[in-house]
Amino acid sequence: MTSSRGSAKEVALGALFAAIVAVATIIHIPMPGYRIYFNLGEGVIYCVAILMGAKYGAICGGIGGALADIVLGYPLWAPFTFVIKGIEGFVVGKMRENRKRAVIAGACVMIAGYTLVAGILYGWKVAPIEFFTDLAQTGVGAIIALVILPYIEGPIRKLLGRQ
């Protein structure tokens, strides 16, 4: 029986997924001359949100992404990341019935959020660099998620007892 708070398995899996988001984000490629970077965290956020829904997508995306910013030495970005990645995960989770549309909507949230914040923090000349970096990052993340989801969906659902 699961409560509105989630079963122990769901909570544990959510914590594990938040950690995986952080690790996938920590494995990054910095953009020379800017305080921005390319990473693979999006693919994990999309998988979590599609498999576990909006609540876990938001929590894992926000916490995992913000934690990675802190570990990587980008603490200024952590609160923005928490909100942007949280909303991104929530949107993907809410729209998960149509995976491609969900991922596109989540990507739009992420790209718009980070482009806006980069422009405000570093000036609008940085915004196009942020935009194209995020476009590539969400594109790679979408491909990763849509390719691996069929392989991990069954085992995750079985683990959670949702066959």
Residue 3 within a domain: no
Give a yes or no: residue 33 inside a domain.
Answer: yes
Q: Please determine, for residue 6, whether its predicted confidence score (pLDDT) is greater than 80.
A: no
Quick one: pLDDT at residue 1? 41
Contact between 34 and 122 under an 8 Å Cβ cutoff? The reply is: yes
- Whether residue 2 is contained in a domain is answered as no
DSSP string for residues in 70-89: HHTT-GGGHHHHHHHHHHHH
**Where are any strands of DSSP class E within the chain?**
28-30, 37-39
Region for residue 31 given its phi and psi (left: phi exceeds 0; alpha: psi -120 to 50; beta: otherwise): beta
**31 lies in a domain?**
yes
The answer, yes or no, to whether residue 32 has pLDDT greater than 80, is no
Structural domain count, the chain: 1
Query: What are the pLDDT digits (tens) for 113-154?
Result: 999 999 999 999 999 999 999 999 999 999 999 999 999 999
Does some domain include residue 80?
A: yes
**pLDDT higher than 80, residue 44:** yes
For residue 58, the model assigns a pLDDT of: 98
pLDDT in tens, 86-117: 999 999 999 999 999 999 999 999 999 999 99
Q: Number of C-alpha atoms within 13 angstroms, CB side, residue 111?
A: 18
- Tell me whether residue 30 is in a domain: yes
Domain CATH number, residue 83: 1.10.1760.20
Query: Which pLDDT does position 4 carry in this prediction?
Result: 58
- Tell me the pTM: 0.92
* Residue 163 falls inside a structural domain: no
Please indicate, yes or no, if residue 1 is contained in any of the structural domains: no
Q: Output the furthest CA–CA distance in the chain (Å, rounded).
A: 53
Q: Which domain holds residue 149?
A: 8-158
